[in-house]
Amino acid sequence: MKNSVIIKSFPNGIILYLDPELSFALLLNDIADKFRASSSFFKDAKMALSIKGRTLTDKEEQQILDTISQNSDLNIICLVAEDETTNQHFVKALQQSDPYAAGADTESGQFYKGTLKNGQILETESSIVILGDVYPGSAIISAKDIIVLGGLFGEAYAGGNGSKGHFIAALEMSPENLKIGDFIYQSKEKGTRWSIKPKVHPKIAYIRNNRIVVDPITKELLSELPV
């Protein structure tokens, strides 16, 4: 256990170094032992997590998060990639999604790394950045803003507190349904996710003249965005 799992800290988070050769089943046991032994130190802190040392599938990452949750009170709010430049862009996007945010903390917003598949629902009281795709049959519900750094093909509900001053943005947007505040938008592009189509452009949905409009993201639009 001493060599297979090593925990080191960085500002507002921890780095988990994992043995690249040990079987994953044994590695999970060592992770459980490590966090159980450290539970009194971390208590119920909210932290970002970076995993290094071996390549993991999405399923394995989720198993690690579940193991940490089951063996400590630590709250992992996001998984951080090793590419620091990419992470800075993610943080910037999250900060821009909430004009009152001083930083990318859990009070102003959060990250979710992974793909939402059919039947999955992700709900939060914060603004949220999804690092992955949102497939048909899944849904994101946020009291504030939603940014999808991937494709939005399912459902998204922003401004869950009833406010229309929020938005939904995605690198590729072909949703089943959108809702911002009390306004509902039904896309005419359902099903285009699986068809051959021209190059897609990042888009943003927001309220204009008391209805939801979906426009390509441009510098000019962002400077004039009524949110």
Average pLDDT by consecutive 10-residue portion of the chain (227 residues)?
73 80 93 86 76 88 90 78 49 43 48 81 85 89 90 91 85 91 73 47 89 88 74
DSSP 61-118: HHHHHHHHHHH---EEEEE--S-HHHHHHHHHHHHHT-TT-SSS-TTTEEEEES-B-T
Q: What is the pLDDT of residue 134?
A: 92
Residue 97 has what pLDDT?
42
CATH code, 102-224: 2.160.20.70
Q: Where are the domains of the chain?
A: 5-79, 102-224
Q: What is the pLDDT of residue 227?
A: 62
**For residue 199, what are its two tokens?**
């190059």
Q: What Cα–Cα distance (Å) separates residue 198 from each residue in 168, 172, 175, 195?
A: 22, 12, 17, 10
Report the pLDDT value the prediction gives residue 195, as an integer from 0 to 100.
Answer: 43
Topology of domain 5-79, per CATH?
Transcription Regulator spoIIAA (3.30.750)
Residue 18: its pLDDT value, please? 93
